[in-house]
Structures are given as structure tokens and as C-alpha cells.
Amino acid sequence: MNGPEQQAVPGEQLGEHISRLRRSAGLSQEELGRRAGVKAVQISKYERGIYAPRAAVLGRLAAALETTTDYLLAGQAAAAKDGLAAVLPRLDALPAELRAHLFELLDAILKAHDLTRPEQRVTETP
């Protein structure tokens, strides 16, 4: 979602970002809450700025709203993403057991390619 609904409004806060994106996606507070794993009353409190979501919830909100946590927090639209960068934010919405299996799989793949250190990167060939 990098369309006009993701154009940051100067001075807009986290709750306003959540509310605007939720409405532009046609979601009720109940539906967004269901997708993010919180109650609708919490969505209402986030949108009104009464509470800020914890990091894990913020990731699930971003995934449900098809945006990034950077955008929700700072209004900075991310560049168009593809590949793993586009998928990673949505993984927070998966059940913990499934996320653990995915991390194990990714770790095994990285080890198999000797890419366990952060400074090692795989370069794509055209």
C-alpha cells in the first residue's frame, strides 16, 4: 500500500496514521483488532492516542494495514519492497510456533550458505 492513503500528513501522530489507514482499507476497529490480535477497544485507544501499542502489536498492526512500522511511527513511507523485505513485516501476525519454525528454517539455510554473520550478504544475479 504505497498509494495516496500512505502520504504522510504533517504533524500526524501514530493513532492518526492507524485510523487513516484503517479507514482507507475499509476496516472496522473490530476487524483491524481481529487481524492484529487485540480488542477493538484497544484499537480505539491507539487511534485516540490514549495508549501506544507494544512493539509486537505494532508489527501486527502494520502487517494488517499493509504498511511498515516506520510509517506508523514516523509517517515515513517505505520505498516499494519486493522479496523478503515485503514479507517480513507480515510474519509477526503468524502464530508464535509457526514463526519459530520459520526462524529455524531460515537459520539452517543461512548456515548452509555460510551466511551466519550479519555483514555477509547474498548478492542477486540478474
Q: Grid coordinates representing 61?
A: 498492526
Number of other CB atoms surrounding residue 70 within 10 Å: 13
Mean pLDDT of the 94-101 span? 89
pLDDT, tens digit, 9 for 90 and up, residues 42-95: 999 999 999 999 988 999 999 999 888 888 888 766 544 556 666 777 777 788
Assign a CATH topology to domain 4-74.
434 Repressor (Amino-terminal Domain) (1.10.260)
Q: No. of H helices and E strands in the chain?
A: 7, 0
Of 97, 107, 101, 74, give the one whose Cα is nearest residue 6: 74
Segments making up each domain of the chain, as ranges: 4-74
Return the pLDDT at 2. Answer: 43
Nearest-Å Rg of the Cα atoms of the chain is 17
pLDDT, tens digit, 9 for 90 and up, residues 107-125: 888 888 877 665 544 444 4
Which region holds residue 66: left if phi is over 0, alpha if psi is between -120 and 50, else beta? left
User: What is d(CA 58, CA 54) in angstroms, rounded to the nearest whole number?
Assistant: 6
User: What is d(CA 64, CA 27) in angstroms, rounded to the nearest whole number?
Assistant: 10
Return the pLDDT at 42. Answer: 96
DSSP designation for 41: H
pTM above the 0.85 mark? no
